[in-house]
């Protein structure tokens, strides 16, 4: 299977070969033709499976098609002739110049939105004059408004800031024909439901909507029912599928000191190319980054409480390999796509079991292997159990010589009140409805 057999136009196929993509991923092979046929879609597939291209390529196809049918916008507004917004004086009098984007993508975080925008420019590099704009928080309004005032093809936004512009009447959305909700479940978790509804209200009824979500149960499913028309469901690999390229390990820690010792040991091993260490809170991220810096690590923190400029600089440093360790919170790390992250370390467990899957998906990118290490204290036992139920996979427990836990592994002698019922049914040793392939328990993986 190759990209041109999917029916993509030549400039896009060329851009993909420049990007080094030789063949579509499974979700791309399914979603691209489906999206190009014009149907609404509900798509789930695991992180790192290439979802961005599976909506951005159809989006760019639409932009190309519109280029054929709509008049070319004049590059600069003229002094002598605008007759209200959208009109310019052409050689034969005023003519309509399309205003506002034809494609709108909503994404949960700034990082993710910027990453999607980069994908748009990368895949669209051979579309002359392609106009992509982003509307995200933490950026001055003035600059954003300038980017929005001219003609536009693709707008990528976080819901909150987009709604601000919409409320101010600064944003014509009447031309949007392709509406994408990326990581819809996450946007709902972040409380964007009303914003999404308000934005959808401002869009034309006649449009195509595609929605990406790790799950379509619960609120994401209800949102899909409200926004989509006769959608096709594409589910390539559920979140429960084994992350084949990611080895998972669990270390039980007696206490915080022990946990720090385990972390310090792992970070000094040579196999660590770059490590992403997750904490539960912004404060923990700061404290841990400071401690690791004092130990001589090239390290910084990334969390939602930092100003956007600094967050961008930290991410640049990670990409430029000036950082070997990044200590981050869930929200801030959401969009990170750095292929050289060899280790994800859960220093503080996530609040929600889904986040575990998103976290470990930051490694094992683009065909590389990765190691996801969870450092858990006994009080984390309930969450470890919930994660294992959610993924229907057991995270194999491991020890480091000289740093073995003094207390036995809690799973070995479950107590009432420890969060989960003991018994053989614990780790989904059988297919559950909608849960994809069961995990081959105890499947041996070669160590790296």
Is residue 74 a contact partner of residue 97, using CB atoms and an 8 Å limit?
yes
Nearer to ligand ADP, 24 or 350 (CB): 24
Query: By rule CB under 6 A, what string of x and - marks binding of each residue 333-372 to ligand ADP?
Result: ----x---------------------------xx------
We find the least distance from the C-beta atom of residue 225 to ligand ADP, in angstroms, to be 23
User: Using CB under 5 A, which of 46, 51, 243, 334 touches Mg ion?
Assistant: 51
Query: By rule CB under 6 A, what string of x and - marks binding of each residue 8-47 to ligand ADP?
Result: -------------x--xx--x------------------x
Query: By rule CB under 6 A, what string of x and - marks binding of each residue 66-85 to ligand ADP?
Result: --------------------
Q: Under DSSP, is residue 332 helix (H, G, I), strand (E, B) or coil?
A: helix
| 109 near ligand ADP (CB under 6 A) | no
| 279 near ligand ADP (CB under 6 A) | no
- Tokens 């858990």 locate to 376
| 358 near Mg ion (CB under 5 A) | no
The three-point CA angle 234-437-213 to 5° equals: 35
Q: Where are the beta strands (DSSP E) in 295-393?
A: 299-302, 325-328, 341-346, 370-377
We find the least distance from the C-beta atom of residue 200 to Mg ion, in angstroms, to be 20
Is residue 116 a contact partner of residue 52, using CB atoms and an 8 Å limit?
yes
Helices 51-69 and 10-18 cross at an angle (nearest 10°) of: 140
User: Using CB under 6 A, which of 30, 34, 40, 49 touches ligand ADP?
Assistant: 49
We find the least distance from the C-beta atom of residue 49 to ligand ADP, in angstroms, to be 4
CA gap 323, 318 in Å, rounded: 5
We find the least distance from the C-beta atom of residue 21 to ligand ADP, in angstroms, to be 4
User: In whole angstroms, what separates CA 39 from the centre of its chain?
Assistant: 23
We find the least distance from the C-beta atom of residue 340 to ligand ADP, in angstroms, to be 11
Q: What is the 3-state secondary structure (H, E, C) of 140-170?
A: CHHHHHHHHHCCCCEEEECHHHHHHHHHCCC
CA gap 334, 183 in Å, rounded: 10
We find the least distance from the C-beta atom of residue 294 to ligand ADP, in angstroms, to be 33
Is residue 348 a contact partner of residue 279, using CB atoms and an 8 Å limit?
yes
Q: How many of the chain's residues bind ligand ADP (CB under 6 A)?
A: 14
Residue 4 DSSP one-character state? G
Nearer to ligand ADP, 43 or 292 (CB): 43
Nearer to Mg ion, 109 or 144 (CB): 109
Q: Which of 439, 407, 444 is nearest to 426 (CA)?
A: 439
We find the least distance from the C-beta atom of residue 57 to Mg ion, in angstroms, to be 14
Q: How many of the chain's residues bind Mg ion (CB under 5 A)?
A: 1
**First and final C-alpha spacing in the chain:** 31
Q: What are residue 290's phi and psi, to 5 degrees?
A: -65, -45
DSSP 54-92: HHHHHHHHHHHHHHHHSPPPPSS--SS---STTEEEETT
**Segment lying near Mg ion (by CB under 5 A), choices 34-42, 46-54, 85-93, 269-277:** 46-54
| 108 near ligand ADP (CB under 6 A) | no
| 362 near Mg ion (CB under 5 A) | no
Instruction: Kindly list the distances between the CA atom of residue 399 and the CA atoms of 125, 253, 381, 386, in Å, as whole numbers in the listed order.
Output: 48, 10, 17, 22
CA gap 22, 98 in Å, rounded: 35
Nearer to ligand ADP, 48 or 410 (CB): 48
| 213 near ligand ADP (CB under 6 A) | no
Residue 14 DSSP one-character state? H
We find the least distance from the C-beta atom of residue 365 to Mg ion, in angstroms, to be 11
| 334 near Mg ion (CB under 5 A) | no
Q: What are residue 302's phi and psi, to 5 degrees?
A: -140, 115
We find the least distance from the C-beta atom of residue 365 to ligand ADP, in angstroms, to be 5
Q: Under DSSP, is residue 251 helix (H, G, I), strand (E, B) or coil?
A: strand
Nearer to ligand ADP, 31 or 375 (CB): 31
Is residue 115 a contact partner of residue 75, using CB atoms and an 8 Å limit?
no
Nearer to Mg ion, 41 or 373 (CB): 41
Which of Mg ion, ligand ADP, none does 247 bind, CB closer than 5 to 8 A by kind? none
Nearer to Mg ion, 136 or 267 (CB): 136
Binding interface with ligand ADP (CB under 6 A): 21, 24-25, 28, 47-53, 337, 365-366
Residues that bind Mg ion (CB under 5 A): 51
């Amino acid at each position: 299977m190759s990209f041109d057999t999917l029916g993509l136009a030549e400039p896009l196929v060329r851009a993909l070969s420049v990007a080094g993509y030789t063949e579509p991923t499974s979700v791309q092979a399914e979603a691209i033709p489906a999206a190009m046929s014009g149907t609404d879609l509900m798509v789930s597939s695991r992180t790192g499976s290439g979802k961005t291209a599976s909506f951005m390529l159809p989006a760019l196809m639409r932009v190309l098609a519109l280029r054929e049918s709509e008049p070319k916008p004049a590059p600069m507004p003229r002094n002598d002739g605008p007759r209200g917004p959208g009109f310019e004086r052409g050689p034969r009098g005023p003519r309509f110049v399309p205003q506002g984007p034809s494609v709108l993508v909503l994404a949960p975080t700034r990082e993710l939105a910027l990453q999607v925008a980069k994908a748009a420019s990368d895949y669209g590099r051979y579309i002359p004059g392609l106009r992509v704009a982003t509307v995200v928080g933490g950026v001055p309004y003035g600059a954003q408004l300038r980017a929005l005032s001219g003609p536009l093809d693709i707008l990528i936004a976080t819901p909150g800031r987009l709604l601000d512009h919409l409320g101010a009447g600064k944003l014509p959305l009447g031309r949007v024909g392709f509406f994408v909700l990326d990581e819809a479940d996450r946007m709902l978790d972040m409380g964007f439901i009303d914003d999404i509804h308000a934005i959808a209200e401002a869009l034309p009824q006649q449009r195509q909507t595609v929605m990406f979500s790790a799950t379509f149960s619960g609120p994401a499913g209800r949102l899909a029912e409200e926004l989509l028309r006769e959608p096709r469901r594409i589910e390539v690999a559920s979140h429960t599928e084994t992350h084949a390229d990611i080895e998972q390990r669990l270390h039980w820690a007696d206490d915080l000191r022990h946990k720090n010792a385990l972390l310090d040991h792992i970070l000094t091993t040579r196999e660590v190319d770059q490590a992403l260490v997750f904490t539960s809170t912004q404060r923990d991220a700061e404290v841990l980054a400071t401690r690791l810096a004092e130990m001589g690590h090239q390290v910084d923190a990334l969390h939602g409480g930092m100003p956007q400029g600094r967050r961008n600089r930290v991410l640049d440093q990670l990409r430029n390999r000036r950082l070997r360790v990044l200590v981050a919170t869930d929200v801030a790390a959401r969009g990170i796509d750095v292929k050289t992250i060899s280790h994800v370390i859960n220093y503080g467990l996530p609040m929600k079991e889904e986040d575990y899957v998103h976290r470990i998906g930051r490694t094992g990118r683009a065909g590389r292997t990765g190691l996801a290490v969870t450092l858990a204290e006994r009080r984390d036992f309930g969450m470890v159990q919930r994660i294992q139920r959610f993924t229907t996979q057991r995270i194999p427990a491991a020890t480091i010589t000289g740093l073995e836990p003094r207390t036995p592994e809690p799973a070995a002698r479950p107590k009432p009140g420890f969060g989960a019922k003991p018994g053989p049914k614990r780790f989904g040793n059988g297919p559950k409805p909608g849960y994809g392939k069961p995990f081959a328990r105890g499947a041996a993986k070669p160590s790296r």
